[in-house]
Amino acid sequence: MAKCTFPIGPQHPALKEPESFNITTEGERVVAVDIRLGYIHRGIEACCQHRNYVRSQYNCERICGICSHVHAWTFCRCVEQLLGLEVPMRAIYIRTIVAELERIHSHLLWLGVAAHEVGFDTLFMYVWRDREVVQDLLELISGNRCNYGMVTIGGAKMDLTDEIIAKCLEGLAVLKERTEYYAQIATTEGTFLKRVEGVGILTEEQAREYGAVGPTSRGSNVPYDAREAFPYEAYSEIDFKAITSDLGDVLGRTIVRVLETIQACDIATELLEKLPEGDIQARAKPRVPEGEAVCRTEAPRGELIYYMRSNGTDKAARVKVRTPSLANWPATILMLEGAYVADVPITIASIDPCMSCTDR
Amino acid sequence: MLKKLAHWATCKSPWVCHLNGGSCNNCDIEIVAALMPRFDLERFGVLLQGSPRHADVLICTGGINRQIRDRIIRIYEQTPEPKFVLAVGTCAASGRPFYGDGSYNLLGGVDKIIPVHMYVPGCPPRPDAITYGVLKLLALLNPKIEKLVSEFEEAIPGIENLVEAGEKVES
Amino acid sequence: MMSELGEAAIERVRREYEGRILETAEFGVYEVTMTVPPEEIVAACRFVSENGWWHLSTITCQDWGEELELLYHFNGDKPPAITVRTRVPKATPKIASITPQLPAATIYEREAYDMFGVVFESHPNPKRLILPDDWPDDVFPMRLEEIQAQAERDQKEKEENG
């Protein structure tokens, strides 16, 4: 059978972000995939060397809209490590709570988009309607639905009043109930299962060798989660266990994400109930002494790592960002080889690709 | 006569095509949220289309970089007249905060490469602001829509400060 | 000041690694580092990945003026994490690729080539990664000279536009 190569993207109805895939098929099977990255490359790492730490933090926050808080958080943690700054406990709890709320918002967004990719638009509409609950909570806490700006070097920007805490606890209870309903659909609804079971297979060995991170690797039974391996901020105060699935296909990743959403509701509730009193900010000096720092955070898509080197001035000497979406592309190419053409959209969507994170 | 018909059809039910020119995808999510049950842009007849050939309004996000520039211009040229461009987000309006001070790959906002008729700045703008931006754009074509626009302005005080007109629209 | 975990890890590396180690240190929070000469990078990375630090997070490159430094960030399932460092001269920035042994490195090595011009020998797909198609072949935007040149261009634009 003759081979045929066709492009998907950069502008395509199925894609929200510009990305270019050249897919070579033989009949209905994919034999090779060539991914062209770089349509959203803004040179943010270079910009951090021209701008001071505060401006760079705002720039890094906007690397990605869906995981903006973890980017700002990891950046600030690196600077705090270089300054040797001790962040007040209340600020640590607030930052972790917002990170878990962001995880809920990101996973629900993904669930809706994945449902849309398999043709289940009803679930798409239901999930995005319920996602508005967590968007309202984030707006209540920070003033914005995305790009919250809750992190600052030395602590958190805004405090949580008792009223806000009460509303958050109510909202989280509602979200948990609804996500349990979606967990039931994901595991029992026949039409959904037929589209995701056995699709996009990644074995445990492949996930480890090709550097996959996040739910992509945890869905293939690799129990690596930065919150468990390197307990940071408020995660060291709770009993945290990574969620894995041994299915190794899109269904496995779906189950991991939905269960992580329920776990995030539980973590956020626990932290809100145990929120300690105190200040929310420590004073930070504008000039950072020479040094190096590495920080790992578990973003909704996987392990986010920042390397930062300072040189005694108010601008960083080097900021290196490796986002989880960049790490997952080699594994995605493996998953696509040998797959049916009709399964390509859901397979790519199953790693929760974020091209703006990849290109920076 | 035909022009009047085309304008009437555009105002009654504008079909939009969404173009991402290099944004952090916050604005793109807010655009999708604007089409979801809570904000529901579809009750104004707005339908999200995949092909630029079917679109009346191009909703562009993102600061334009060297790689995507030619593709956006090509898509703009493929869209049939009458067409209108809505730039959503601060980076679509001006390229900031990414453009300038060290960025080697960016050209600026969307108006550097294609004419923009309405700007909706914000990082990201709320879905209400995006809906209001679309309605204000249509009101420039069809004065009857002004009534809807003023209902919006009464319900959400201050929303008129959130959008800004760009190129002149022929009515 | 060394932490207990960091000290134990460095002692183990010094005892069990058979090649040449130029320097070991601890930095940050539970981050250990070992510096090796560039010709030993494949052996060092293989040693580290087979001794508990199985996950390659990323490869960072930075410009020190005359030399380009490569940092390979590895970690396991618990602290400490380890960074394998090496330096190559900027005039001839060549080093062996670790992709044949560790496929996870493929995308990070391409990025280091794209941004800094480091040539990874025997890399299966040595193409540029994210810069545009019309970007000149010999310009590497993260090198110090390019950062300086961009700062001058920005200054000129600010002066022109007022």
Domain parsing of chain A, residue ranges: 43-321
Residue pLDDT, tens place only, C81-90? 999 999 999 8
Side-chain half-sphere exposure of A356, counting CA atoms within 13 A: 29
Per the CB < 8 Å rule, is C150 touching B65?
no
Q: Is the pLDDT of residue B43 over 70?
A: yes
> Residues for chain A: how many in total?
360
The percentage of residues in chain B with a pLDDT greater than 70, rounded to a whole number, is 89
Which overall architecture, per CATH, does domain A43-321 show? Orthogonal Bundle (1.10)
Q: What angle do CA C91, C95, C98 make, to 5 degrees?
A: 155
Mutual angle of helices A89-117 and A250-273, in 10-degree steps: 150
Average pLDDT of span C143-155: 89
**Rg, chain A, Cα only:** 20
pTM, 2 dp: 0.91
What is the tally of structural domains in chain C? 1
* Chain C residues within an 8 Å CB radius of B104: 141, 146, 150
Q: Is the pLDDT of residue A241 over 60?
A: yes
Q: Is the pLDDT of residue A359 over 90?
A: no
Whole-number mean pLDDT of chain A?
89
Domains and CATH numbers, chain B: 9-165 (3.40.50.12280)
Domain that holds residue C150: 4-161
For position C8, which CATH number holds? 3.30.460.80
Separation between Cα atoms, residue C53 and residue A230, nearest integer Å: 13
Q: Count the neighbouring beta carbons within 10 Å of the beta carbon of residue A167.
A: 15
Residue pLDDT, tens place only, A27-61? 888 998 888 888 888 888 999 999 989 899 988 99
Which amino acid, C162?
A: G
d(CA C150, nearest CA chain B) in Å: 6
At B165, the pLDDT band (50, 70, 90 cuts) reads confident
Q: Is the pLDDT of residue A319 over 90?
A: yes
Quote the pLDDT of residue A268: 92
* Chain B residues within an 8 Å CB radius of A51: 101-102
At A185, the pLDDT band (50, 70, 90 cuts) reads confident
Q: Is the pLDDT of residue C158 over 70?
A: yes
Average pLDDT of span A281-301: 89
Q: Count the neighbouring beta carbons within 10 Å of the beta carbon of residue B38.
A: 14
Q: Which residue from B40, B17, B22 is spatially nearest to A13, judged by alpha carbons? A: B17
Per the CB < 8 Å rule, is A59 touching B97?
yes
Element housing C83 (H / E) = strand C81-89
Per the CB < 8 Å rule, is A293 touching C79?
no
At B101, the pLDDT band (50, 70, 90 cuts) reads confident
Q: Is the pLDDT of residue B170 over 60?
A: no
Quote the pLDDT of residue C162: 64
Quote the pLDDT of residue B3: 67
ipTM of the assembly?
Answer: 0.91
Q: What is the dihedral of CA C142, C147, C150, C152, to 10 degrees?
A: -170
At A259, the pLDDT band (50, 70, 90 cuts) reads very high
Q: Is the pLDDT of residue B148 over 80?
A: no
The percentage of residues in chain C with a pLDDT greater than 70, rounded to a whole number, is 98
Q: Identify the three-state secondary structure at position C72.
A: strand
Quote the pLDDT of residue B24: 85
Quote the pLDDT of residue B152: 76
Q: What angle do CA A224, A230, A231 make, to 5 degrees?
A: 110
At B8, the pLDDT band (50, 70, 90 cuts) reads low
Residue pLDDT, tens place only, C18-74? 888 888 888 888 889 999 999 989 999 999 988 889 999 999 999 998 999 999 999
At A104, the pLDDT band (50, 70, 90 cuts) reads very high
* Tokens of residue A138, six digits: 């984030």
* Chain C residues within an 8 Å CB radius of A228: 77
The percentage of residues in chain A with a pLDDT greater than 70, rounded to a whole number, is 100
Question: C residues 104-123 near A, CB within 8 Å?
Answer: 104-108, 111, 115
Q: DSSP letter at C36?
A: -
Find the CB nearest C62 among A81, A303, A309.
A309
* Tokens of residue B121, six digits: 């700045």
First to last CA, chain A: 40
Q: Where is pLDDT greater, at C21 or B163?
A: C21
Best probe of the A interface among B15, B24, B99, by most A CBs < 10 A, is B24
